[in-house]
Amino acid sequence: MTAPESAPSIYDPSGQLLSSEESKESSSLMWGIIEEAFEYSNKNSDSIPEDQSLLDFFKIKLQEKDVPAPLAERVLQACRSWGDYVGGSIEKQSLKFFWLEETIDGDTYANADVELSTEVVSIESREPAASDDDISQPSRIHITTALGDRRSFDEVIMTAPLGWLKHRSETCFTPPLPPRLRAAIGNISYGRLEKVYLTFPTAFWLSPPDSNSNGSSNGKNPPFFTQWLAPTYIPHHHPLECVHLSSLPAPHAHPTLLFYTHGPLAAHLTSLITALPPTSPLYLATLADFLRPYYALLPHYAASSSSCSPVAALATDWTHDALAGWGSYANFQTGTGGALDGDIEALRRGAPERGLWFAGEHTAPFVGLGTVTGAWWSGERVARRAGGLYFGGEGKGEEGGGGEEEEEAAAMNGGVGGKRGGTGLGA
């Protein structure tokens, strides 16, 4: 997780735009403390109380640094945007396991039968061998779909999201999952992050561009992020942030604002649209009306101008998606007993003795947790292990290769991870 390359534009609780110096000062201090929190959590995880949160760490550091009260208050408001990265509030972000949130900076499939819209409702895995001397042919694993089809396989890799496992693992698996796996699924928290895209006829928030500026403001790109701090002019007072997709480099820039929401606000917003067809005028109007108090503060907004009225909208709705487990991805909250890194490792190992393996962002190398790249890595790893049982190399139901440290070092050299907004069920 890294700080934005440029300072965001920030609106204070009264709706006033902070100066670029104030925004830069607040953003730099906030991300500096986040970096300190990663380092502190890495070094002191064993001794940090389970109920200590990232917000507690911010308060301590701001006091230690003797930050003036107005700036400290702005940073405490701005740091609540951390929830938009993990899908949960900063008050619940565990400092003890904060190190697990640190991420990296930024083939074709042949001879495979891919079935879409086919939900798996039960999995019957084989019983473990009675002893190491048992050389009998292992039984196959049977899965049943929602349509009642029953299929048999030698090995099954579950890429179901953690949220789905939380809701269905007790009823889906026969025999029940081993106690260690059930405990791991219960211990790891699951976030709720939602994204909303609003597209306008033009990027009205940009100053009139020069002929050679490619859509930028007088040849200079505007801030990539905008934050609204605990707005007092909106009944729910919920802070929000957005990304200006108009600030992407040519030819990828387009007049779209990407808003991030989490927690109760995400639940409320999605409840307004979950029953509406995404192509309906009411869907667009609902999202536009809800977010208007925010984007109406952007430069050059005029209520009477058609350029300032969204023409398209799209929102995720993982909160109401059963296959996503009514959420987005794993996070690590306060008050969780045990060792969450051990829980991740337990899921990573799976139950190979039963022919049952797990993949997904919640089983990724630590630097890839909660990212699409991490989910990809986890699939590659488990494919090598399961395939090794039949083709040699890694496998035998154990982790292969040079261990977690070597695997994460290799992972750091390939690809860029980004937080995702949910996933589907695969088996």
Specify the range with the lowest mean pLDDT, choosing from 211-220, 299-308, 358-367: 211-220
Of 96, 70, 82, 66, the C-alpha closest to 18 is 70
Taking 60 as the threshold, does the pLDDT of residue 395 lie above it?
no
More confident residue, 151 or 410: 151
Q: Is the separation of the CB atoms in 277 and 44 below 8 Å?
A: no
**For 414, how many CA atoms within 13 A lie in the half-sphere containing its CB?**
11
Among residues of the chain, what percentage have pLDDT more than 70?
A: 81
Other beta carbons within 10 Å of 15: 16
Check residue 418 and give its pLDDT: 42
Q: Grade residue 114 by pLDDT with cuts at 50, 70 and 90.
A: confident
Q: Give the pLDDT band of residue 108 (cuts 50, 70, 90).
A: very low
Q: Give whole-number Cα distances, 174 to 124, 168, 270, 354, in Å.
A: 5, 12, 34, 11
Judge contact between 343 and 330, C-beta under 8 A. Answer: no
CA distance 340 to 46: 11
Q: What is the pTM of this model?
A: 0.76
Mean pLDDT of the chain: 84
pLDDT at position 210 is 43
Token pair of 216, please?
């930028």
The residues with which 258 forms a beta bridge, in sequence order, are 197, 243
Higher pLDDT, 282 or 422: 282
What is the mean predicted confidence (pLDDT) over 391-414?
A: 50
Q: Which two tokens stand for residue 217?
A: 């403001």
Q: How far apart are CA 59 and CA 251, in angstroms?
A: 42
- Average pLDDT on 356-382 reads 92
Say whether pLDDT at 218 is over 80: no
Q: Are 189 and 50 in contact (CB under 8 A)?
A: no
Q: Is the pLDDT of residue 169 over 50?
A: yes
**Confidence (pLDDT) at 8:** 84
Q: Please list, in sequence order, all residues whose beta carbon lies within 8 angstroms of the beta carbon of residue 177, skipping any fewer than 6 positions away.
A: 169, 185, 351
- The pLDDT value given to residue 113: 80
Answer yes or no: are the C-beta atoms of 162 and 360 closer than 8 Å. yes
Confidence of residue 6 (pLDDT cuts 50, 70, 90): low
pLDDT of residue 211: 37
What's the pLDDT score for residue 388? 86
The model's pLDDT over 69-89, given as tens digits with 9 standing for 90+, comes to 999 999 999 999 888 888 888
Specify the range with the lowest mean pLDDT, choosing from 39-48, 293-302, 319-328, 329-338: 329-338
What is the 3 state secondary structure string of the chain?
CCCCCCCCEEECCCCCECCHHHHHHHHHHHHHHHHHHHHHHHHHHHHCCCCCEHHHHHHHHHHHCCCCHHHHHHHHHHHHHHHHHHCCCHHHEECCCHHHHCCCCCCCCCCCCCCCCCCEEEEECCCCCCCCCCCCCCCCEEEEECCCCEEEECCEEECCCHHHHHHHHHHHEECCCCHHHHHHHHHCEECCEEEEEEECCCCCCCCCCCCCCCCCECCECCCCEEEECCCCCCCCCCCEEEEEHHHCCCCCCCCEEEEEEEHHHHHHHHHHHCCCCCCCHHHHHHHHHHHHHHHCCCCCCCCCCHHHCCCEEEECCHHHCHHHCCCCCEECECCCCCCHHHHHHHHHHCEHHHCEEECCHHHCCHHHCCEHHHHHHHHHHHHHHHHHHHHCCCCCCCCCCCHHHHHHHHHHCCCCCCECCCCCCCC
What's the mean pLDDT in 141-149? Answer: 94
Pairwise pLDDT comparison (49 vs 102), residue with the higher score: 49
pLDDT over 60 (residue 3): no
The HSE-up count of residue 367 (CA atoms within 13 Å, CB side) is: 19
- Answer with the residue of higher pLDDT: 253 or 394: 253
User: What token pair was written down for 258?
Assistant: 């990407």
pLDDT confidence of residue 381: 92
Mean pLDDT for the stretch of residues 139-152:
93
pLDDT at residue 134, as a whole number? 53
Total count of residues recorded for the chain: 427
Distance CA 289, CA 294 (A): 10
pLDDT of amino acid 425: 33
Tell me which residue has tokens 């380092």.
39
Provide mean pLDDT across the span 24-30. 93
pLDDT at 77: 93
pLDDT at residue 26 above 90?
yes
